Chains A and B, each alone.
Chain A
Amino acid sequence: MTAAVARPPRAGKVRLRTTGAMRMLALVVGLMVVAAINYQSNAAWAMVMLLVGMVGLSGLHARRALASVGIAAVACDDTFAQDQAHVRLIAHTDAIAGVADLAVAIPAWQTPTVQIGELRAGRSLEVSVPVPPLGRGIHHATSIRLSTRFPLGLIEASRELPVELRLVIYPQPLGRAGGQLPDPTLKGAGLQAQPLPGADDFHGHRRYQEGDAQRQIDWKAHARGQPLLVKRFTSSAGAARWCSWDETHGDQEARLSQLALWLLEAHAQGAAIGLRLRHERISPGQGAAHLRACLQALAAHPHEVPAAPALAP
């Protein structure tokens, strides 16, 4: 939270450039000019001047249209390395005339340009920009590029808005299953994957036995025609599992992918998960937020620096 920032950063200037269609039209207009001079036709000359004027003005119109567009909100969803990452943003304009043919891209990540289309006055539109595969890690971008080719498609106005973007890409879960270690504080056999009864997290059903609390009966399942079932809960103090770096094999990325798989697996089984890396250790915890924190730690793991080439003697 930046409470003491002096001034919000200014949006970049609107830049104009000609499109390929403009070059084609310029060629045709050049032919018209030659023909008009050759046949001494004032009418054709006037038409050339009108076209030139219209194209020039369309650049000004595009510039005006873009100057009023802003980004209201941005969200970068965390994704795995082999899934499609998206950046969701909301564009809005306050200008009375609205904007047409708006397109959005994130230049730092070389995303494709996504057409938003038309943005009417006072409205917002949500758009999702697909990000090409960037690999594991935490990626930053500092600007979003807005562009438009309205009205004639011959001159493109573009502008970079300074927005802080942070995209976290987790390693793709790959590897063998079931390599988590039990919590060393709970020594003793037979406690490997057994959830302890507790009162916090729902963990499935078991048959009703005499003496169970009536409050824990799942009446809805009974109404559906099933026999009396009791909901089971586990407590956060139950079966912590450790995903440890030392248990993994292979190069760094393979190890990280293995750890990610174990984390997901353990979380799906409802256990508390802890992460032990070479220089970091996260205590066991439960819940989606804890899982996210662990995965982010994996994502933030520094990349291998390639070994320096051996110096020739």
Chain B
Amino acid sequence: MSSDLRFSTLLGLIVGMALATIAFSDPLPPWIPLPLLALALWRLLPAWQGRRPPVLPQRVKIGTIVLLALALWSTGRMGLGIDGAGAGFIILLWSKLLEMHQRRDLHATCAIALFVVAAELLVSQSLAQCLFAVLASLTLLSVLVQVNLVGLVGDPLPATAPWPTWVRAGRVSSVLALQAAPFALLLFLCVPRPAISPGLDTKSVQTGVSDRLAAGGLSELVLSQQLAFRVTFLSDLHPEPAQCYWRGVILTDTDGQIWWRNANVRNLESHDHLADDSSAAIDYEITLLPTNHPWLFTLDCPAAIDRATGSQTPIVQRAGFVFQCTDVIGSTRVYRGHSRLVPASDPVHSRIASESYRVPNYRTVQGEVDPEVLAVAREIAQRSQVHGKIDARRAITNTLDYFARNHFVYTLRPGSMGADAMATFLLHSRRGFCEHYASAFTLLMRLMDLDARVVVGYWGGEWNPLGNFMTVRQSNAHAWSEVHVPGVGWVRVDPTTMVEAVDTEGNVVPSADASDARSFHAASGTWMARHLQWVSQRWDFIEAQWDRWALAYDADSLADLEHRVGLGHLGPFAPIAMLCIGGTPLVLLIMWVLRRRGRVDPAQRQYRRLCARLARAGLPRQPHEGPLAYAARAAACFPELAAVVEEAATLYARLRYGPSQPPPERQAALARLARLVRRVRPGRGRVPVAGPLATLV
């Protein structure tokens, strides 16, 4: 008998480890599969040949771990956070292959691999990632099942086994997972998450638009297809994607090149609200993926906002109709907004009225501006004067004219801009994308002594007809401008809509789609693109439900559930009550399922019943006695039951050991056996008849 672990067990374990490592492969360098594959082969080959692998001295094992750790650390990608910890665990995991001989080594490896799988779920929670994690976990657990099914060491099993062992082990673990799923769901819904956060590694990566805009700041974002948020409109009317400007954060200060948000504006409470207007009111619900920024996105222009579930995390309003949470958004959030849709078709007349307009100052430029740019501003200001004072509306129109007349082009690849990006953009290259246009326009407004600010957010989105929601991705990131027109209020101006768009190949694209890089390609309409879109829409729909209901579940949702179930008044005991109420039927169901698996052949059950009855009367069956012999003895002891017992025993013997009968006959025989056994009711405590019995001793 081979004294080494079975080859199939090792192979299953290595496959599980590989799945776990693939899930976590982002921070790892690309050459990492080579040493891991070497370790795997070193351990698998002896098992394949049926001999033990060589026992390595302790120094070699520790040396390998140190070497791998140094190699990973030298790539420079390992920090102290989850990336570093995960990489460390992966090194430990594969190094354990050097010492894999006993059951406890196997268990340790599976535990570490499960941790690596969970570590990836800390970083990315998309549905695809979760399904992959389930697959990896099931593989690892079926390795454990396999060890318990056929033992740890031994020869390969004969090929005559009905199913290969790994199929049986996989089935057992899948059934176990399916049976555990309702319990897991109940625990997930009812167990309250502790409010105390250890606060480790809090400097997580920030995604999405930021409150600092430098030239080229949005260029990376615009090329990413990563999801930003999804919007469900609560009324039947839903606006066209091109009409949806998603307001994120306003940028108030500039030095001529870079825009940022003033600290006062960031921290001061604001009470701006919309004036009464005839434009349409829209209600919507947004599922926002974690950004690690504090601000929420709203449809322009937002009137009010609140949480979809509960109201425990406060939302505050800042200047410029910016809504943000008191803390950064570290997990998926769901919230509802109420906005008035400001049409984008007429930039001059579209307005966002506000009641309270206060300082901060939206006019200053805190740095040196190129004199040529100043000249342009002065020239436009000259033409916009009415009665000696500059007219804001005219200034807006004239500036937009400037862009249109001078053959400005929208492109995602404007090339390098040099030190003074604004001057290069306005005067020389005249190629740029939304952030250049927005910042240039706002700069010119400020140079003309008008109040203007830059707004950063998203524009448009992809409508999913299957789920009636709009998907907004990072590629929809956009920047536009707002100008304060005295007597009217803040007016949104999007200079990007005024220019022609040029895609990466140099073709002109309709300007309404200019903000979405993906539409450059989807406009081609090939068969492949259309079918990909069909699949991706369906997948997006499923993922939307996952994000909305599973990932956004938090303490507020739990409180909401408690109230809905009617247990809210129990306070902190409500989760326990919910667990008991929900768990009891599940436990009973599982017990019933298990009892069915333990059920005995019906003929056997009747025979056992017969034996139990006779044993109660004082005549237990000896282990070596067959049914007929036992019946003969019982007939001798209880003469009045002789016929019944003997017939029952004969019937049982035929059912159990005789040739197999067709089901109807078998059913009839079983029924008769049951009737006979029911009639066996020997008197209790009867002393059996002496005499013939003595010779049987």
Docked complex Cα distance between A72 and B594 (Å):
24
Whether B594 and A37, one on each chain, are in contact in the complex, defined by CB atoms closer than 8 angstroms, is no
Using A21-B104, A32-B118, A60-B594 as known contacts, say yes or no to A37 and B193 having CB atoms under 8 A apart: yes
The answer to whether B600 and A35 touch across the interface, beta carbons within 8 angstroms, is: no
Interface string of A33-47 (1 = CB under 8 A from B): 011111111111111
Check B141 for interface membership: any CB of A closer than 8 A.
Answer: yes
**Minimal beta-carbon separation of B650 from chain A (angstroms):** 20
Contacts of A94 in B (CB 8 A): 600-601, 604
CB pair A73–B624 under 8 Å, yes or no, is yes
Choose one: B108, B114, B618; the contact of A51 (CB below 8 Å).
Answer: B114
A3 near B619: Cβ-Cβ < 8 Å:
yes
Given contacts A64-B597, A64-B598, contact A38 B623 (CB under 8 A): no
User: Does A152 contact B148, Cβ atoms closer than 8 Å?
Assistant: yes
Shortest C-beta distance, B237 to chain A (Å), equals 32
Query: Which residues on the B side are within 8 Å of A213 (C-beta)?
Result: none
Cβ contact within 8 Å between A36 and B118: yes
B184 touches A49 (CB 8 A): yes
Could you say which of B112, B200, B290, B599 contacts A96, with CB atoms under 8 Å apart? B599
At the interface, yes or no: A1 with Cβ under 8 Å from chain B?
yes
> A54 at interface (Cβ–Cβ under 8 A)?
yes
Instruction: Tell me which of A39, A45, A151 contacts B176 (CB under 8 A).
Output: A151
Is the CB–CB distance between B184 and A35 below 8 Å?
no
C-alpha gap A65/B148 in the complex (Å): 13
Say whether, besides A49-B191, A152-B141, A38 and B201 are in contact (CB < 8 Å).
Answer: yes
Interchain CB contact under 8 A, A152 and B144: yes
The stretch from A104-112, A115-123, A180-188, A225-233 touching chain B is A115-123
Given contacts A42-B331, A47-B137, contact A35 B598 (CB under 8 A): no
Q: Which of B197, B595, B619, B624 contacts A37 (CB 8 A)?
A: B197
Write out the residue numbers on chain A whose beta carbons fall within 8 Å of the beta carbon of B103: 21, 153
A254 CB–B CB distance under 8 Å: no
Are B601's CB and A38's CB within 8 A?
no
Q: A residues 11-54 with Cβ under 8 Å of B?
A: 20-21, 24-25, 27-28, 31-32, 34-54
Interface string of B566-607 (1 = CB under 8 A from A): 000000000000000000000000110011011111001000
Q: Considering the complex, give the chain B residue whose CB is closest to the CB of A27.
A: B111
Chain B interface residue count: which class? 35 or more
Q: Which residues of chain B from 100 to 125 have a CB within 8 Å of any chain A CB?
A: 103-104, 107-108, 110-112, 114-115, 117-119, 121-123, 125
Q: Flag if B181 contacts A53 (CB, 8 Å).
A: yes
Q: How far is the CA of A8 from the CA of B614 in the complex (A)?
A: 11
Residues of A near B119 (CB, < 8 A) are: 35
Most buried by B among A2, A25, A54, A94: A54
* CB of B531 closer than 8 Å to a CB of A: no
- CB-CB under 8 A from A32, the residues of chain B are 114-115, 118
Asked if B598 and A67 make an inter-chain contact with CB atoms under 8 angstroms apart, the answer reads: yes
Range, interface on chain A? 35 or more
Q: Does B221 belong to the interface (CB within 8 Å)?
A: no
Counting chain A CB atoms within 10 Å of each CB, the highest count among B103, B188, B194 belongs to B188
Find out whether the CB atom of B145 lies under 8 angstroms from the CB atom of A25: no
Whether B399 sits at the interface, judged by CB under 8 Å, is no
B260 at the interface (CB under 8 A from A): no
**Complex contacts, A40 vs chain B, CB 8 Å:** 197, 290, 330-331
List of A residues within 8 angstroms of B310 by Cβ: none
Q: Determine if B107 and A25 form an interchain contact, defined as CB atoms under 8 angstroms apart.
A: yes
Q: Chain A residue with minimal CB distance to B621?
A: A8
Report if A311 contacts B (CB, 8 A). Answer: no
Query: Which residues of chain A are near B184, meaning CB under 8 Å?
Result: 46, 49-50, 52-53
Measured in the bound complex, the distance between the Cα atoms of B623 and A8 in whole Å is 12
Q: Does B180 contact A (CB under 8 A)?
A: yes
Query: Using Cβ atoms and an 8 Å threshold, which residues of chain B touch A217?
Result: none
Say whether B137 contacts A151, CB under 8 Å: no
Q: Does B22 contact A (CB under 8 A)?
A: no
Query: Do the beta carbons of A41 and B176 come within 8 Å of each other?
Result: no
Q: Are B598 and A95 in contact (CB under 8 A)?
A: yes
Closest to B115 in A: A28
In the complex the two chains form, is B111's CB within 8 Å of A25's CB?
yes
Query: What 0/1 readout, one digit per residue, does chain A (143-162) give for beta carbons within 8 Å of chain B?
Result: 00000011111100000000
Q: Is the CB of B114 within 8 A of A28?
A: yes
A57 within 8 A of B: yes
**Bound CA–CA A32/B133 (angstroms):** 14
Min CB–CB distance B136 → chain A (angstroms): 10
In the complex, which residues of chain B have a beta carbon less than 8 angstroms from the beta carbon of A257? Answer: none
Residues of B close to A276: CB separation below 8 A: none
Cα–Cα, bound, A42→B556 (Å): 14
Q: Is the C-beta of B151 less than 8 angstroms from some C-beta in chain A? A: yes
User: For B123, what are the chain A residues with a Cβ–Cβ distance below 8 Å?
Assistant: 39
Cα A82 to Cα B598 in complex, Å, equals 43
Q: A38-B201, A73-B624, A117-B150 are in contact. Are A50 and B111 (CB under 8 A)?
A: no
Given contacts A3-B693, A5-B620, contact A24 B590 (CB under 8 A): no
**Complex Cα gap A118–B173 (Å):** 17
CB distance A53 to B180 under 8 Å?
A: yes
Task: Note all chain B residues with C-beta closer than 8 A to A46.
Answer: 130, 184, 188, 550
Q: Which residues of A contact B520 (CB under 8 A)?
A: none
Min C-beta distance of A120 to chain B, whole Å: 10
User: Quick one: which of A45, A60, A153 contacts B148, CB cutoff 8 A?
Assistant: A153
Whether B590 and A60, one on each chain, are in contact in the complex, defined by CB atoms closer than 8 angstroms, is yes
In the complex, what residue of chain A is closest to B624 when comparing beta carbons? Answer: A73
Within 8 A of A (CB), among B643-697: 685, 687-688, 693, 696-697
Most chain A beta-carbon neighbours within 10 Å: one of B119, B129, B196, B332: B119
Residue A61 is within 8 A (CB to CB) of chain B in the complex: yes
B197 near A38 with CB under 8 A, answer yes
Q: Are A57 and B590 in contact (CB under 8 A)?
A: yes
Chain A 94-146 interface residues, beta-carbon cutoff 8 Å to B: 94-97, 100-101, 115, 117-118, 121-122
Bound together, the chains give a CA A2 to CA B620 distance in angstroms of 9
Closest residue on chain A to residue B620 by CB atoms: A8
A205 CA to B123 CA in the complex, in Å? 90
The verdict on A6 contacting chain B, using a C-beta distance below 8 Å, is: yes
* Minimum CB–CB distance for A310 against chain B, Å: 51
Q: How far is the CB of B290 from chain A (nearest CB, A)?
A: 8
For the complex formed, measure the closest distance between the CB of B52 and the CB atoms of chain A, giving whole angstroms. Answer: 20
With the chains together, A6 CA to B332 CA distance in Å? 67
Within 8 Å by CB of A50, from B108, B181, B598, lies B181
* A73 and B176 contacting across the interface, CB-CB below 8 Å: no
Q: Which residues on B sit within 8 Å (CB–CB) of A150? A: 145, 148-149
A58 within 8 A of B: yes
Q: Is B487 part of the binding interface, using a Cβ–Cβ cutoff of 8 Å?
A: no
**Known interface pairs A37-B194, A47-B117. Does A60 touch B591 (Cβ–Cβ under 8 Å)?**
yes
Q: Which 9 A-B pairs have the closest CB atoms?
A: A53-B180, A21-B107, A40-B331, A53-B183, A43-B125, A49-B187, A43-B121, A50-B184, A101-B148
Pairs across A and B, CB under 8 Å, 30 listed: A6-B685, A8-B615, A21-B104, A28-B115, A32-B118, A34-B198, A36-B122, A38-B201, A39-B204, A40-B330, A43-B133, A45-B188, A46-B130, A47-B117, A47-B118, A48-B118, A50-B181, A53-B183, A53-B187, A57-B183, A60-B591, A61-B176, A64-B594, A64-B595, A94-B604, A95-B597, A100-B148, A100-B149, A152-B141, A152-B176
Known: A3-B693, A8-B615, A49-B184. 4 other contacts (CB 8 A): A48-B118, A96-B600, A100-B148, A101-B149
Residues of A whose CB lies within 8 Å of any CB of B are: 1-8, 20-21, 24-25, 27-28, 31-32, 34-54, 56-58, 60-61, 64-65, 67-68, 72-73, 94-97, 100-101, 115, 117-118, 121-122, 149-154
